[in-house]
A and B are shown apart, each in its own frame.
Chain A
Amino acid sequence: MSANRAAGSAVGRHTRRDFLLGVGLLGLAVPAAHLLLPRAASAQAPPASAPKQGGTVVLASYQEAASLNWILIGSPSGLGFMQMYPMFEPSLRISEKLEPEPALLREVPTTQNGGISADGLTYTLRMRPGLKWSDGQPCTVRDWIFTWKWITDPANHAVGSLGWARIASAEAKDDTTAVVKLKQLYVPFVAETLAGWPILPEHVQSKTTSEAFGRKPVGNGPFRFVEWVSGDHITLERNPYYWRSPKAYLDRLIWKFIPDRNAVLAQVKTGVVDIGVDYQEAQIPELSNIPDVNVLISAQNVIERYHFTIVTNEDVKKPHHLFGDARLRKAVTLATDRQTIVNTVLHGKTRVATTQLDNTAYQNPQLKPHPYDPVQARRILDEAGWRPGPDGVRTKEGTRFSITHSTTAGNQTRETIQALVQANLKDVGIEMKIVNFPGPTFFATFTENGAYISRKYDMVGVNGGLPSLDPNIRLQYHSAEIPTREKPNGLNLGGVSDPELDKLLDAQLQTLDNAKRKEILWKAQQRIHDTCAIMPMYQKLVVNTVNKRVRGLKTIDFGAVTSIVWNTHEWWLA
């Protein structure tokens, strides 16, 4: 027998022992599998009508917050702010009508109620009495004043100081009243320091660094911090000291970090994750097919847009050889079929954008996007002296109308749209070369020749909303805000340089009269629209999914992803 074995081949020679072994293993496999594999999901319970206490809601985020200290987060419409928000109540909440409403402060300061002095230099903040932080300590107006001092001290590394830096002095009259004096009139003050903005607890933050506080925050929102397992999840629990009554219904909220968007979808489908946030527009058809899940779509203020480089990289006084001329910008705008892009790439789920104030209370309703009119585009180019060359690309005095376009690499939606725009422009005789970069290179600073800011490319594609509820578009369109080597941090990316526009943008910052401000901003939008200072592409939709068992959830049309956690204290589980 050993000689047979030694021949090396055992094909077809299974002994009885092998057979019994196999059957035994199979027999063990079944109970082992039963033990290892979880039970299949059971049927949903019938819906209830009154809010019930208890339960845990799991939300998925594809990006983990850098810190839970909101002063280190910076962007109020990003995923980091969203994760922090249920823990920190803002001084004023942004209402469904997109206006400030009382929260920590018991009234919104206005010129009518004396909260704002007639000259706009003195603000009186009136806080609710009896507020507490989540550790039981009292929350007073002194915490607001402390927040101002903390943010404006560079040693504390606050990422942005915006409205807070305008304060000259702040004094607490008592626990609930503070008198704040500004250095000069600053109309966006309420929007930049109160509406949607929280405060810091003096008794905790003063004893530690901003960074350490961000890992173990103490807040005053409907939920309080329990634990943060880096890379995996953040757990929050109901805050028993929250000022509203009733307090939050849910026991816990958990932020789960799932970096792959497809994996998020899988966990939403299996019900492990109740709420998924910030999907791409192109995923809407697929999301609508998931049973037991509601798709919430909101058109907000975030606009995808293309900036024209209007002045050169080296010299802001020297106009760009092509786009310094408003006619050529108009020709490119008319030649781009944005409606087809919205219909095909975005499945018709959003609208072509008109201005940067779309979907805000200050939008100019008389403006409509420039139409798609390649015939008119060609006529403009002809009249400007750009004639088609032998290869179809227009030339003038030996120069070809060839431009470079840059946006972030790896974003499928953006790259598809770029290809469509390239084809549109080719159709009217303009050559567009695509040069994309991954995030860190694209967003590098002016001195490091980051694509989005350095004006090294003729057109740049970005998106973004307003930094606060305030419609202060001066930041993006005033000639004083053009980034240069000496002053590399302006947000007027393309270098819009229009004295008439500058005047309007300065004027809108000088009046506290909202109606008057709206009037001026309408004129400013008209001017930007007429001169084609930018090419607005489409309104970015905020797309979230919510499992049907989560009730009471409401969102507002502001704050991008943050809008999903607008009223966590009212959520309950069926």
Chain B
Amino acid sequence: MGDGVTSFVARRLLQTVPLVLLISLFAFLVIRIAGDPMSMYGLNPNMTADDRARIITEHGWDRPLLVQYLYWLRDLVKGDWGHSLYTYESVTAMIRARLSNTLILMGSVFAVTLLVSIPLGIYTATHQSSRLDHLITGSAFFAYSLPTFWLGLICIMMFSVKFQQWGFPSLPAGGMYSLRDGPSTLGLLQHLVLPCFVLSIVSVASYIRHLRASMLDVLHQDYVRTARAKGVSDREVIWKHAFKNAALPLVTLISLNIPRIFSGALITEQVFAWPGMGRLFVDHATRADYPVLMGLVISVSVLVAIFNLLADVAYAYLDPRIRLG
């Protein structure tokens, strides 16, 4: 399988290049058509006509769109991702600064999701139709339908504001650490609780449902019955035989969600004032700040392509029946 994997990976990586280029062209056209960067200067009465004309020619916004795209592409290939039209910082510096914040939040969400949903998913499948199963799947259904924006604000209201009013210990309402006390690990953990909770609830719900369904499917297979008949312990049947096969659809789900670890959660980061990649996108999308948006599009598309590739390879490892290519 070694050679097959190498050539598969090489082929896929080569395919990624034109794919990302196509995505970047499409994104560029959509972003530029949908918003005019000059709108940032809005009704600014301090700008004269000459000021505005100068800004337009400086940035080359009087050129045709496709030409502007090619200039952007040329710079990208040279390693220059450009500068924000709004803050003038370099795009790479901005992404680098925010990326770790997003990784902390989304990484925690990812860990919590797996740690909670795998045991619960397996439990509900092995104890199908029990009262606890109904309770868990019912709650999952409900949790999945909660809008994160609303849930975030409700949590802030309850655990931050109300708890403090009632004299209970309360959680912070936003940000990454207390500005008065300065950065600390404990402070970070305290500030992580609510946004992590809000984001995890929805993905835990989704993962439980998926895992339960595929576990149920697998548990009724002949080979599981055979293993049990052979006297294999419950634990070994569930984990070594059933879960490993039920995990395949989970791998798909995980691989589709991994790019989110890098791209951040747009709404939750807004609500909790978490300075991550999602915030970066929203703050600059409203200003048609296309260098930043294009930088984000490129980074996320590349990550999606890579992780899709990894998922396919993982599949082949988990299930020998799957042939690559």
- Given the complex, which residues of A lie within 8 Å of B168, measured CB to CB? 40
A6 to B224 Cα, complex, angstroms: 11
Kindly provide the distance from the CB of A190 to the nearest chain B CB, expressed in whole angstroms: 15
Q: Which residue of B lies closest to A57 (CB)?
A: B180
- Given the complex, which residues of B lie within 8 Å of A8, measured CB to CB? 126-128, 219
Scan B119-143; emit 1 where CB is below 8 A from any A CB, else 0.
0000000111011100000000000
Asked if A266 contacts B51 (CB within 8 A), the reply is no
In the assembled complex, B241 has its CB within 8 A of some CB on chain A: no
Kindly provide the distance from the CB of B68 to the nearest chain A CB, expressed in whole angstroms: 13
A464 to B41 Cα, complex, angstroms: 13
In the assembled complex, A272 has its CB within 8 A of some CB on chain B: yes
In the assembled complex, A258 has its CB within 8 A of some CB on chain B: yes
Asked if A74 contacts B286 (CB within 8 A), the reply is no
- Given the complex, which residues of B lie within 8 Å of A272, measured CB to CB? 172-173, 178
Scan B163-177; emit 1 where CB is below 8 A from any A CB, else 0.
111011111111110
In the assembled complex, B221 has its CB within 8 A of some CB on chain A: no
Residue of B55, B156, B219, B272 with most partner-chain A CB within 10 A: B156
Q: Which residue of B lies closest to A467 (CB)?
A: B45
Asked if A262 contacts B52 (CB within 8 A), the reply is no
A476 to B45 Cα, complex, angstroms: 9
Kindly provide the distance from the CB of B230 to the nearest chain A CB, expressed in whole angstroms: 11
Instruction: Give chain A's interface secondary structure class.
Output: loop
In the assembled complex, B88 has its CB within 8 A of some CB on chain A: yes
- Given the complex, which residues of A lie within 8 Å of B39, measured CB to CB? 439-445, 450
A231 to B172 Cα, complex, angstroms: 18
- Given the complex, which residues of A lie within 8 Å of B51, measured CB to CB? 158-161, 489
A488 to B49 Cα, complex, angstroms: 7
Q: Which residue of A lies closest to B35 (CB)?
A: A440
Asked if A6 contacts B169 (CB within 8 A), the reply is no
Asked if A231 contacts B279 (CB within 8 A), the reply is yes
In the assembled complex, B47 has its CB within 8 A of some CB on chain A: yes
In the assembled complex, A98 has its CB within 8 A of some CB on chain B: no
Q: Which residue of A lies closest to B84 (CB)?
A: A66
Residue of B156, B172, B174, B234 with most partner-chain A CB within 10 A: B174
Contact segment of A31-39, A119-127, A512-520, A525-533: A31-39
In the assembled complex, A97 has its CB within 8 A of some CB on chain B: no
In the assembled complex, A64 has its CB within 8 A of some CB on chain B: yes
Given A56-B180, A266-B157, A444-B38, A231 contacting B43 (CB threshold 8 A):
no
Please report the number of residue pairs spanning A and B whose Cβ atoms sit closer than 8 angstroms. Answer: 225
Kindly provide the distance from the CB of B205 to the nearest chain A CB, expressed in whole angstroms: 23
Scan A62-73; emit 1 where CB is below 8 A from any B CB, else 0.
001011000010
Within 8 A of B (CB), among A437-468: 438-445, 448, 450, 452, 462, 464, 466-468
In the assembled complex, B42 has its CB within 8 A of some CB on chain A: yes
- Given the complex, which residues of A lie within 8 Å of B219, measured CB to CB? 8
Q: Which residue of B lies closest to A442 (CB)?
A: B39
In the assembled complex, A28 has its CB within 8 A of some CB on chain B: no
Given A154-B54, A489-B53, A162 contacting B190 (CB threshold 8 A):
no
Within 8 A of A (CB), among B172-224: 172-176, 178-180, 186, 189-190, 193, 219
Q: Which residue of A lies closest to B273 (CB)?
A: A258
Asked if B179 contacts A256 (CB within 8 A), the reply is yes
Within 8 A of B (CB), among A187-237: 211, 214-215, 229-233, 235
Asked if B126 contacts A67 (CB within 8 A), the reply is no
Contact-residue size bin, chain B (C-beta under 8 Å from the other chain): 35 or more
A10 to B175 Cα, complex, angstroms: 44
A183 to B74 Cα, complex, angstroms: 44
Asked if B86 contacts A66 (CB within 8 A), the reply is yes
Kindly provide the distance from the CB of B45 to the nearest chain A CB, expressed in whole angstroms: 4
Residue count of chain A within 8 Å CB distance of chain B: 78
Kindly provide the distance from the CB of B175 to the nearest chain A CB, expressed in whole angstroms: 7
- Given the complex, which residues of A lie within 8 Å of B130, measured CB to CB? 9, 11
Asked if A263 contacts B272 (CB within 8 A), the reply is yes
In the assembled complex, B36 has its CB within 8 A of some CB on chain A: yes
In the assembled complex, B89 has its CB within 8 A of some CB on chain A: yes
Within 8 A of B (CB), among A374-417: none
Kindly provide the distance from the CB of A480 to the nearest chain B CB, expressed in whole angstroms: 11
A450 to B42 Cα, complex, angstroms: 10
Q: Which of B53, B174, B189 is in CB contact (< 8 Å) with A258?
A: B174
- Given the complex, which residues of A lie within 8 Å of B55, measured CB to CB? 157
Residue of B46, B101, B231, B282 with most partner-chain A CB within 10 A: B46
Q: Which of A215, A230, A269 is in CB contact (< 8 Å) with B98?
A: A230
Given A5-B234, A230-B87, A441-B39, A160 contacting B46 (CB threshold 8 A):
yes
In the assembled complex, B11 has its CB within 8 A of some CB on chain A: no
A434 to B160 Cα, complex, angstroms: 40
Asked if B87 contacts A67 (CB within 8 A), the reply is yes
Asked if B175 contacts A232 (CB within 8 A), the reply is yes
A211 to B89 Cα, complex, angstroms: 8
Kindly provide the distance from the CB of B131 to the nearest chain A CB, expressed in whole angstroms: 7
In the assembled complex, A357 has its CB within 8 A of some CB on chain B: no
In the assembled complex, A490 has its CB within 8 A of some CB on chain B: yes
Kindly provide the distance from the CB of A261 to the nearest chain B CB, expressed in whole angstroms: 10
Listed in ascending order, the chain A residues whose CB lies under 8 Å from chain B are 2, 5-6, 8-11, 33-41, 56, 58, 64, 66-67, 72, 74-76, 154, 157-162, 165, 211, 214-215, 229-233, 235, 254, 256-260, 262-263, 266-267, 269-270, 272, 438-445, 448, 450, 452, 462, 464, 466-468, 475-476, 487-491
> Given A75-B46, A230-B98, list of 10 further CB < 8 A pairs?
A33-B169, A159-B46, A160-B47, A231-B98, A233-B175, A258-B273, A259-B279, A259-B282, A440-B40, A441-B35
Q: Which 5 A-B pairs have the closest CB atoms?
A: A160-B46, A231-B275, A440-B35, A444-B36, A443-B39
Q: List 8 A-B contacts (CB under 8 A).
A: A8-B127, A36-B186, A64-B283, A66-B88, A160-B51, A259-B270, A442-B39, A443-B39
